[in-house]
Copies of this chain bind each other. A is one copy, B any other.
C-alpha cells in the first residue's frame, strides 16, 4: 500500500489557500506524513516587449519576496504548522519552481489547487496542469469552486 511520507503543498497564497491547505493537511495527517509549503514568485515575462526591459529591476523584488514569506508563514501558522518547511522562491515558471522544490525536498505527493477553466484560462493552462505534466511524484488537484 502506498505510504505518503512527505507532502508538498504548493500555494498561490490566494484567498482560497487555507482551504486547499486543509485538504493537504488532512491527507498528510492520515498518512502520518510531513507537510511542507512552497510558494513561487513568477518572474515577469518581458518577451513581448524588449523595450520594457531597462525599466524592470534586475533583481527579484525583495519586498514581494518578504511579503510572500510573511503570508506563507501566516498560512502555516493558521494550519497549526508554524515549524513546517516553507519555501518561497522566484522562478521563470511556477511549474519549474514547484517541481524543483519537490525534487529538493524529496516529496512523494504535491497538492495544488485547481480552478475551473473557461475561455482564456483554458487556453493559458493552469498550474495544476503544468505540475501534473512534469512531476515525478503523485499530484493531488484540489478542486476549487469557480
Tallying the copies of this chain within the complex gives 2
Q: Which one of A51-59, A93-101, A136-144 is at the interface?
A: A136-144
With beta carbons under 8 angstroms apart, the residue of B23, B26, B122, B139 that contacts A114 is: B139
Closest chain B residue to A31 by CB distance?
A: B30
Min Cβ gap A123→B in Å is 12
A1-37 interface bits toward B, Cβ cutoff 8 Å, 1 = contact, 0 = none? 1110000000000000000001101110111000000
In the complex, chain A residues 120-146 whose Cβ is within 8 Å of any chain B Cβ: 122, 128-129, 132-133, 135-143
Interface size on A, residues (CB 8 A): 27
* A66 contacts B by Cβ under 8 Å: no
* A74 contacts B by Cβ under 8 Å: no
Docked CA distance A122–B143 (Å): 24
Min Cβ gap A1→B in Å is 4
Known A2-B22, A26-B2: A132·B141 in contact at CB below 8 Å = yes
Q: Which residues of B contact A29 (CB under 8 A)?
A: 1
Q: Which residues of B contact A133 (CB under 8 A)?
A: 117, 122, 129
Q: Which residues of B contact A22 (CB under 8 A)?
A: 1-2
Docked CA distance A4–B140 (Å): 13
Q: Which residues of B contact A138 (CB under 8 A)?
A: 23, 114, 140-143
Q: Which residues of B contact A122 (CB under 8 A)?
A: 133
Q: Closest 4 CB pairs between A and B?
A: A1-B26, A30-B30, A2-B23, A139-B141
